[in-house]
Structure 1
Amino acid sequence: MSAETTRGADGTGPAPDTYEGGLRRVARVVLLDPDDRILLLHGHEPDNPADDWWFTPGGGLEGTETHAEAALRELVEETGVTDVELGPVLWTRRCAFPFAGRRWEQDEWYFLARTTQTETRATALTELERRSVAGARWWTCRELGLAHETVYPTRLAELLRRLLDEGPPASPEVLDTEIV
């Protein structure tokens, strides 16, 4: 759910959240460790921690950066993971959802990435992320398939199983549009 994450005007502290509507271009990361576990962030509505879900790291493109550049930047900011081998775009999806009192519309690209670095620590969350991201967890495909929690994108357990069994698709798969 990351909004733009440049530093505040004084160069320190979390950046203000600047999303004002319209279609937001987003890069997300399907980060796998050597045991094929996927890293997901735990998020919730800022004023209602009981309204929660799990999601892949990522966020909006800033300025002229590419999707790949945004994916790597967001990964560092949200997880502290810097030792990454960025792979191909696996999936794309359009989604719209309410969050933090606003309507968000996103065009998301999901990159495959691999790392041996399994310790995580957020390094540059925005003000909104500080209020809505509760942590991170590595999940096995089996754990994800058995989970009763809400996970985005929907069908992530099935998508991950296919990725692990068959490898990345020849070209990005378009996921169902999700409108909430």
Structure 2
Amino acid sequence: MIATPPDLPPSEEGTPVRRVSRVVLLDPDDRILLLHGFEPDRPTDTWWFTPGGGLEGAETRGEAALRELAEETGITGAALGPLLWKRRCAFPFDGRRWEQDEWYYLARTDRTTTDTAGHTDLERRSVSGLRWWTLEELSAAHETVYPTRLAELLRTLLDEGPPSAPVLLETERV
């Protein structure tokens, strides 16, 4: 079980809170890379989400973001930019309840070829692929995408640039 870091109190339900770094990865055409996930026991229950995952050991949030990006997408050498957004979320997945404190970093890359060889066993059982999305495609999508309002958040990012301080997103509980 993942221990609760001293700076994060347990959730209201007493569940340990997992520290997570996520990456808003943009290519030269401002397309965003998302992973297509599903519940392992219910493969028709699907959603799209940004690369990222939990911190390991004493790594920083930025180090975790780049490590997770490399493991989940095969993309290395991305230029990690500023922290854009923060959110708390809670959801059931793979037979347990997850409570997460997520930080979303901007990153840019010229590389658009992906490789999923670094996926964990759980990712191999719950990720069906990756896709680069234009803002227009994301805005028109009828599929579930996390974080909620990602198209709106991306539009603001592309129109106005990164925020001067991280934006606190609404807590999402499923």
- TM normalised by structure 2 equals 0.91
User: 1:153 aligned to 144, 147, 151, which one?
Assistant: 147
Q: What is the alpha-carbon distance in structure 1 between the residues aligned to residue 153 and residue 33 of structure 2?
A: 14
1:22 and 2:16 aligned: yes
Q: Which residue of 2 aligns with 1:129?
A: 123
Query: CA shift at 1:125, angstroms?
Result: 1.4
Distance 1:69 1:50 in 2: 33
Give the equivalent residue in structure 2 for 1:4: none
Q: Conserved in 2, the CA contact under 8 Å of 1:81 and 1:117?
A: yes
Superposition deviation, residue 83 in structure 1: 2.6
1:75 aligns with 2:69: yes
Q: Within 5 A, what are the aligned runs for 1:1-180?
A: 19=2, 22-180=16-174
Whole-angstrom distance in 1 between the partners of 2:122 and 2:71 = 13
Q: Name the SS of the counterpart of 1:142 in structure 2.
A: helix
- Identity of counterpart residues, as a percentage? 72
The number of aligned residues is 163
Task: Provide the C-alpha distance between the structure 2 equivalents of 1:49 and 1:126, rounded to a whole number of angstroms.
Answer: 18
Deviations 1:87-115 (A, max 9, x none): 00000000000001100000000000000
Structure-1-length-normalised TM-score: 0.88
Cα deviation 1:12-35 (Å, max 9, x = unaligned): xxxxxx658510000000000000
- Give ranges in structure 2 of 5+ residues lacking alignment: 4-14
Look up the equivalent residue of 2:60 and give its one-letter code. T
CA distance in 2, matches of 1:160, 1:47: 31
Find the aligned partners of 2:45 and 2:124 in 1 and give their Cα distance. 16
Cα distance in 2, alignment partners of residues 99 and 179 from structure 1: 12
The alpha carbon displacement at 1:48 in A equals 1.3
Indicate if the aligned counterparts of 1:76 and 1:123 stay in contact, CA closer than 8 A: no
Counterpart amino acid of 1:176?
E
Cα distance in 2 between the residues matched to 1:19 and 1:47: 23
State the AA in 1 paired with 2:29.
D
Shift of the alpha carbon at 1:49?
Answer: 1.1
Paired residue type of 1:103: R
Q: Distance in 2 between matches of 1:145 and 1:127?
A: 31
